[in-house]
């Protein structure tokens, strides 16, 4: 964590925005990581290139798992920003970081992830999600949710907030299923954040599990 982040006292959209300004060397360092700005159509086209080569199911599994790793860093970074914060504080701060970074506007209708025993489900709602917007603008509507990167990232943030040690003790993990998607005609994308065991029962399609070949 760099000193700027460590000194962040009041977590608001405005002071999170201050973290995302490039310095004179062209570096944006926020929440412990370097960031870049990139057009969402670039991501859509990259995704399509991969999807056509390896197939839709493998693509979703690959992207979900890669995003989950990135999300863990974000969850841990936010936990550093607000030491001792509740799950609700940390999730909402991560949502603000996502909004400032242009991912869309997050809402949290339900937050029930329990650090002590990892029970309960949470619901994360995302308006104007970048991944759905990118897909819609390049390829149009879809019969199924199209945001595996966002789902994986949210899962990772949840896992990062609960913490690797606690997850190891509980022998479980945090995962996420997209249940509504702008590309299906819903007003927003919605994600169920749940335990790994529940995810394995309810996941949609034939996604590979992270770590599976
Ligand atoms: Zn979506």
Q: Which of 69-78, 91-100, 171-180, 184-193 has the highest mean pLDDT?
A: 184-193
Q: What is the mean pLDDT of residues 138-142?
A: 92
What is the per-residue pLDDT for 201? 79
Cα of 36 vs centre of ligand 1, distance in Å, is 22
CATH of 3-202, one of 3.40.309.10, 3.30.1380.20, 3.90.1170.50, 3.40.47.10: 3.30.1380.20
In 163-195, which positions are buried (b, 16+ CB within 10 angstroms) versus exposed (e)?
A: eeeebeebebbbbbbbebbbbeeeebbbbbbbb
Cα of 37 vs centre of ligand 1, distance in Å, is 21
Q: Which of 24-33, 82-91, 95-104, 163-172 has the highest mean pLDDT?
A: 95-104
- How many Å apart are CA 85 and CA 163, to the nearest integer? 13
Cα of 107 vs centre of ligand 1, distance in Å, is 14
Cα of 182 vs centre of ligand 1, distance in Å, is 5
Q: What is the mean pLDDT of residues 182-210?
A: 82
Question: Can you point out the beta strands (E) in the chain?
Answer: 28-30, 33-35, 105-110, 122-127, 174-180, 189-195
What is the per-residue pLDDT across 101-123, written as a single tens digit (0 to 9) for each?
999 999 999 988 777 777 778 99
Cα of 94 vs centre of ligand 1, distance in Å, is 18
Cα of 57 vs centre of ligand 1, distance in Å, is 16
């Amino acid at each position: 964590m760099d000193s700027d982040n460590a000194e962040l006292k009041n977590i608001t959209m405005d002071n999170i925005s201050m973290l995302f300004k490039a310095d004179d060397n062209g570096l944006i360092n926020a929440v412990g990581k370097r960031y870049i700005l990139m057009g969402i159509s670039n991501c859509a086209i990259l995704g399509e290139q991969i999807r056509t080569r390896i197939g839709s199911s493998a693509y979703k599994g690959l992207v979900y798992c890669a995003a989950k790793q990135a999300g863990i860093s974000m969850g841990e970074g936010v936990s550093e920003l607000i030491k001792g914060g509740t799950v609700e504080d940390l999730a909402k701060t991560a949502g603000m970081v996502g909004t400032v970074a242009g991912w869309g506007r997050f809402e949290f209708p339900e937050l029930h992830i329990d650090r002590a025993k990892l029970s309960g489900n949470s619901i994360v709602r995302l308006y104007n999600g970048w991944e759905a917007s990118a897909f819609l603008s390049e390829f149009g509507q879809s019969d199924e949710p199209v945001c595996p990167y966002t789902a994986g990232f949210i899962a990772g943030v949840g896992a990062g907030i609960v913490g690797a040690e606690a997850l190891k003790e509980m022998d479980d993990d945090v995962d996420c299923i997209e249940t509504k998607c702008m590309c299906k005609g819903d007003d927003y994308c919605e994600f169920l954040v749940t335990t790994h065991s529940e995810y394995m029962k309810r996941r949609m399609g034939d996604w590979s599990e992270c770590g599976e070949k």
